[in-house]
Each structure stands twice: as C-alpha cells, then as structure tokens.
Amino acid sequence: EPEVTQTPSHQVTQMGQEVILRCVPISNHLYFYWYRQILGQKVEFLVSFYNNEISEKSEIFDDQFSVERPDGSNFTLKIRSTKLEDSAMYFCASSDGTGWQVVNQPQHFGDGTRLSIL
Amino acid sequence: AQRVTQPEKLLSVFKGAPVELKCNYSYSGSPELFWYVQYSRQRLQLLLRHISRESIKGFTADLNKGETSFHLKKPFAQEEDSAMYYCALSGGIQGAQKLVFGQGTRLTINP
C-alpha cells in the first residue's frame, strides 16, 4: 500500500537556524497538508496546499513558515529562523483529489519528523 | 469556531468489556467526522469516518447531530485495540479540508 514518507525522522537544530522538513506524498494525491503536535498537546493544522499554492493556513503558520513543492514528488516545510517553541512532531499528510467526492477523501499521514530546537 | 473535545485522556478497560471513547464537536456547518488511531510506534491511520457508516475492527461510530457527538464504540475490547485514538472534524474550504483534532484518548486494554 502506498505511504506518505517523511525525512528525517528526527531533526535537531540550533535556535535561529533554518530547517527544512521533507515529505513525499502518495503519488496520485493532489492535496497536501502539514500538521504539528507539541509534546502532550493535540495535533494542530498548519497549512494545506493544492495546485501549487496554499489553500489555507492557520494562525501558527506565520511568516517564518513556508511550503513548497519543488518537483513532482516532494513537499517541503521550511522554518526560516527556528524558535524553541517550534519543537514538536511535524506530520505531513496527503489526500486524493480524483473523483467527484474530493471533499470526502481521507488524509493519509506520514510517520512524522520530530524537530528539536536547542 | 471548529472544536473537537475528547473528555478522557486515558481510558482503561478489561479485555472483553465494552469500550466507548467519547467525542463532542462544535461546528456551524455540516461536519465530516473521523476517528484516527495511532498504534505504538506507528503512524496516524484512519479508523473510520461517519459518511461510510461501516464497522472497522469491530468499532462503530454514529454521528449524533442533536448531541454534537461522534462516540466510538466496540462491544468487546481486544488487547490489540490498545492505542491512541483521535477524533477529528473536517472543515474549511472545499477541496483542501483541514482536520481539527481532539486531544486524543489513550486506550489501554488489560488482559
């Protein structure tokens, strides 16, 4: 069964440094998402992406964050200048956009990248 | 505002006993509700969604719009059901539907 893959599994970065988290969504999916989960808290939506542009973003997704689909397979989340509070598990997800029931397609999640800011 | 509440952080039951994981939501439109499960050392995976009205691994969930609830139930718990369970609501602009998650309930099935 096809899966969403995320790399690296764990990223340790100094505060103020830039970090890029990488995701390879399922190949025929058209909708891409990033979520994060701070330790002990709920999974929170960051951003959704479709047709090479952001569809929706949360209040968390400020100017320090950006997303990109640099080629036909990767979907990246960049944090320009990391802060201590960016430490969290970051999940990538994708969903199918084919067929008329596009709004009902479930999201498939990757294993996550644990980001630790020192 | 969209909100999902799972009142129990931890739930522990004995094998063979019935299980009910509670989920309440707040949403002004027509919600789409999901249950996701995360087994130990595995990724979040979809367990079931209300539009399917199906039973997966013996679990069912009925959307009750009057009570704004989407409780997950299983009549006879099994040890392999031990996992983290997240209730989620889908809302947002059509097409790219973000998920709003509850805080999750850690279910432990005791032998």
What pLDDT, in 10s, does the model give residues A23-49? 999 998 989 999 999 998 999 999 999
Q: Which residue of B has its CA nearest to A97?
A: B95
Strand partners, B45: B37
Decide: B35 and B48 in contact? Cβ < 8 Å.
yes
CA distance B36 to B85: 6
Segment among A66-70, B81-85, B95-99 with least mean pLDDT? B95-99
Residue-wise pLDDT tens digits, B32-64: 899 999 998 889 999 998 877 778 899 999 899
Residues of chain B neighbouring A43 (CB-CB closer than 8 A): 44, 86, 99, 101, 104
CA-based torsion, A89, A58, A101, B88: positive or negative: positive
Tell me which residues of chain A have a pLDDT lower than 50. Answer: 100, 102
Q: What is the mean pLDDT of chain A?
A: 91
* Cis, peptide link before residue A8, omega less than 30° from 0: yes
For B93, the closest of A4, A56, A109 (CB atoms) is A56
Closest CB to A42 among B34, B45, B103: B103
Q: Mean pLDDT throughout B6-14?
A: 96
